[in-house]
A = this chain, B = another copy of it.
Amino acid sequence: MPTMKDVAHAAGVSLGTVSNVLNRMPSVTKENRGKVEEAIKRLNYRPNSAARTLKTNASHSIGLIIPDIINPFYPEVSRGVEDVAMRNGYALLLCNNDRNREKERKYIDYLIEKQADGIILVKPSITPQEIVEIQARCAVVLVDAPGEAEPACDFVDVDDFRGSLNAMKMLCDLGHRRIAFIEGIASKSGSSRHEAYLRGLRDCGIEVDYALIKKGAYDWHSGHTCTTELLRMPDRPTAIFAANDLMAIGAIKAIHDRGLKVPEDISVLGYDDISMAALCQPALTTVRQPKYEIGSCSANLLLKRIAAANAQDAYPFQNIILETELLIRDSVGRCRKA
């Protein structure tokens, strides 16, 4: 592979001049610039980014650590990240940690070793203490981080409480009084939805029936089994709020299996708006999370932080809260039960 030295020789100029041409420095005569550009083309020269990284201490790549790209929530998030990264000349290193603490640690170390300029950590399980250590080495943005001990860090979150409360209000407005909740695995966003469920009931003057709260696991299957249990109740719910779409779709399936209809017999409300939500039968009424924006905002935040770090100016950590949107489709209807 040809190097800058080869280019310099071929163009009859010095190494420094080639460097100046490559880095768009103004102090190069038209003539030399032309000679260098010609030589680059002729030799088919490509810069070696490893050498550049070694010298400048900037790899122009960022890492994205997510639970699992197969989870229908994350492709859009990662696309948002990638678009912003690439638009700014940054490459994206993708890592799936399967919500496994150890894998997460390993990936972080790996990205640091790869000289990533920054890392976006989605649903991190590491401790605030560890985050501080990482920040000493590269920029960090947290997405949907556990809230208990919010560390000094940039982060992006979704206002799940507001989104869920809003959805609950709609259910109540449609006359539903017996509303079940299928929750997910414990997490900040999960507990926000749970709290909003309780608060929503209270706001409407409905007493909580804890038998209507079921523990799911964010997957289709648990939505199905939880719903089957709910349907066996003597006084079954007229609406089900599932903490994510996958469980909501499982719920619809369980309702159909029982020979009942959605939304005529039971209304089903989801959360997330994964692509399948619009296509299932009936189309799922759900709370849309701004998935792409989660990714693009995180990436923007990260790039700003990287730029600040390079310029040695520390500005305060930012905290972006994105809003949800209630998407009214076909799976929720007015309560028919007098």
**A→B interface (CB under 8 Å):** 1, 46-51, 53-54, 59, 61, 68-70, 72, 74-76, 78-79, 82-83, 86, 91-96, 109-115, 137, 220, 249-250, 252-253, 256, 275-276, 279-281
Contact = CB atoms under 8 A, between A and B. Distances in A.
Given A94-B78, A276-B280, A112 B50 contact: no
B281 A279 contact: no
Contacts of A253: 279, 281
A50 B54 contact: yes
This chain's copy number in the assembly: 2
16 contacts: A46-B112, A46-B113, A46-B137, A49-B114, A50-B54, A61-B93, A69-B69, A75-B75, A78-B94, A82-B96, A86-B95, A256-B281, A276-B276, A276-B280, A280-B280, A280-B281
A120 to B, nearest CB: 13
Contacts of A281: 252-253, 256, 280-281
Contacts of A82: 69, 94-96
A258 to B, nearest CB: 14
Contacts of A68: 79
B279 A114 contact: no
Given A250-B279, A253-B279, 19 more contacts: A46-B112, A46-B113, A48-B115, A49-B114, A50-B50, A50-B53, A50-B59, A51-B54, A69-B69, A70-B76, A91-B93, A91-B114, A92-B95, A93-B94, A94-B94, A276-B276, A276-B279, A276-B280, A280-B280
A49 B279 contact: no
Nearest to A281: B281
A265 to B, nearest CB: 15
A275 B48 CA distance: 41
Nearest to A81: B94
A227 to B, nearest CB: 14
Nearest to A103: B86
A256 to B, nearest CB: 7
Contacts of A49: 113-115
A70 B69 CA distance: 10
Contacts of A46: 109, 112-113, 137
A115 to B, nearest CB: 5
Contacts of A256: 281
Nearest to A69: B75
Contact of A69 (B1, B51, B78, B86): B78
A79 B70 contact: yes
Scoring A83, A93, A115 by chain B CB atoms within 10 A of each residue's CB, the highest score goes to: A115
A171 to B, nearest CB: 23
A130 to B, nearest CB: 12
A158 B49 CA distance: 35
